[in-house]
């Protein structure tokens, strides 16, 4: 079995290296273009990518995320819905991962309304499993861009839970045009005419977490099958010379400033 096939099957690089000895390992490294160049013998399995992965059922993951939202809220709900299943099916490094540490993603990080915890959680999941771009594979970075774009452009929530706590008719769908919790929740609150503390708003956010967990598992399954192709094309850094989201006019109106030109 070639190294690439192993990878697609989710067998960790470490297992491959241990199984094939130094000479073959060197050859495999060359073959993969330094995919594991940040891993060294001193580092534990959590720093060696990709982490072992088996395909998960997106609907089952979404259901777990929906229920988990009521315990740990959006970001940690997305993380736990994926990692709890992988912990059961695989074990480490998922077993050692401090899942509940990510409760702080709630409310766009401790209520500050910055990035919505759901895409943040999904991106933590993708980057832990596939590895950060500096480890050699661009895929986690690309999936993260896709999650940001999908979240911003999709009428959410998409997922309807099996046993909804609130009548689905009361949960309207809105497009946030932004990954920011403040804007996403604000647009929904306005459309639904519901205050932040309402049971409806809470259930909406639980379903957004479930919808996002569903989406990231679809993308991870595609990656696992070697079928993933990135779709997100927007980059404020490339197009505007500043980090940012695509909805410039939401905040700047018609007067979108131009960033200072790059130095030659
Ligand atoms: C969520 C709101 C928001 C969005 C969306 C947004 N900006 Fe901004 N941006 C701001 C705020 C607030 C400032 C600070 C403005 C100030 O201090 O005058 C700023 C500053 C800037 C600056 C720094 C220079 C200056 O004149 O203030 C540039 C350039 C800029 N934005 C461009 C953009 C572009 C291009 C986009 C879309 C790709 C964008 N912004 C999207 C809120 C936003």
Question: What is the overall mean pLDDT for the chain?
Answer: 88
pLDDT value of residue 31? 39
In this structure, the residue with its CA closest to atom 29 of ligand 1 is: 259
Q: Specify the ligand 1 atom closest to the Cα of 239.
A: 38
Q: Specify the ligand 1 atom closest to the Cα of 183.
A: 1
Q: How confident is the model at residue 22 (pLDDT cuts 50, 70, 90)?
A: very low
- CA atoms of 137 and 127, how far apart (whole Å): 10
Alpha carbon of 244 to ligand 1 centroid (Å): 8
Q: Averaged over 232-259, what is the pLDDT? A: 95
Alpha carbon of 240 to ligand 1 centroid (Å): 10
pLDDT value of residue 35? 52
pLDDT value of residue 264? 80
Count CA atoms within 13 Å of residue 53 on its CB side: 27
Q: How confident is the model at residue 257 (pLDDT cuts 50, 70, 90)?
A: very high
Dihedral angle, C-alpha 90, 86, 221, 226, nearest 10 °? -30
Exposure letters 123-134 (e unless 16+ CB within 10 A, then b): bbbbbbbbbbee
Does the pLDDT at position 20 exceed 80? no
Task: Using alpha carbons, select from 80, 97, 100, 91 the residue that is nearest to residue 10.
Answer: 91
Alpha carbon of 194 to ligand 1 centroid (Å): 29
Does the pLDDT at position 59 exceed 80? yes
pLDDT value of residue 187? 98
Q: Averaged over 147-171, what is the pLDDT? A: 96
- Which residue among 180, 233, 236, 244 has the greatest number of ligand 1 atoms within 8 angstroms of its CB, and so is best to mutate? 244
The pLDDT tens digits for 180-214 are 999 999 999 999 999 999 999 999 999 999 999 99
Q: 21-25, 192-196, 213-217, 253-257: lowest mean pLDDT where?
A: 21-25
- 46 alpha carbon, distance to own chain's centre: 17
Question: Residues near ligand 1 with C-beta < 6 Å?
Answer: 236, 240, 242, 244-248, 250-252, 256-259
Q: Averaged over 62-80, what is the pLDDT? A: 98
Alpha carbon of 235 to ligand 1 centroid (Å): 14
pLDDT value of residue 40? 57
Alpha carbon of 147 to ligand 1 centroid (Å): 22
- Which residue among 178, 242, 258 has the greatest number of ligand 1 atoms within 8 angstroms of its CB, and so is best to mutate? 242
Alpha carbon of 253 to ligand 1 centroid (Å): 10
- CA atoms of 33 and 44, how far apart (whole Å): 21
Q: Averaged over 105-123, what is the pLDDT? A: 98
In this structure, the residue with its CA closest to atom 36 of ligand 1 is: 248
């Amino acid at each position: 079995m070639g190294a690439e096939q192993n990878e697609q099957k989710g067998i960790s690089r470490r297992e491959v290296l241990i199984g094939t000895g130094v000479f073959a390992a060197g050859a495999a490294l060359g073959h993969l273009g330094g995919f594991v160049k940040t891993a060294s013998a001193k580092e534990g399995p959590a720093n060696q990518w990709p982490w072992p992965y088996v395909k998960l059922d997106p609907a089952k993951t979404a259901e777990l995320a929906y229920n988990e939202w009521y315990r740990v809220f959006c970001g940690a709900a997305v993380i736990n819905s994926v990692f709890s299943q992988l912990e059961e099916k695989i074990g480490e490094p998922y077993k050692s991962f401090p899942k509940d540490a990510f409760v702080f993603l709630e409310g766009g990080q401790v209520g500050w309304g910055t990035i919505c915890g759901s895409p943040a959680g999904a991106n933590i999941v993708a980057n832990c499993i596939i590895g950060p771009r500096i480890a050699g594979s661009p895929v986690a970075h690309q999936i993260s861009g896709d999650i940001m774009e999908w979240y911003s452009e999709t009428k959410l929530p998409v997922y309807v839970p099996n046993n909804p706590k609130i009548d689905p008719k009361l949960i309207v769908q809105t497009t946030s045009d932004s990954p920011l919790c403040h804007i996403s929740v604000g647009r929904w609150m306005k459309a639904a005419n519901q205050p932040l503390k309402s049971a409806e708003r809470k259930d909406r956010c639980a379903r957004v977490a479930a919808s996002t967990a569903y989406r990231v598992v679809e993308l991870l399954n595609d990656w696992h099958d070697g079928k993933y192709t990135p779709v997100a094309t927007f980059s404020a850094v490339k197009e505007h010379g500043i980090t940012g989201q695509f909805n410039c006019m939401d905040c700047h109106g018609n007067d979108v400033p131009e960033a200072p030109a790059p130095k030659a």
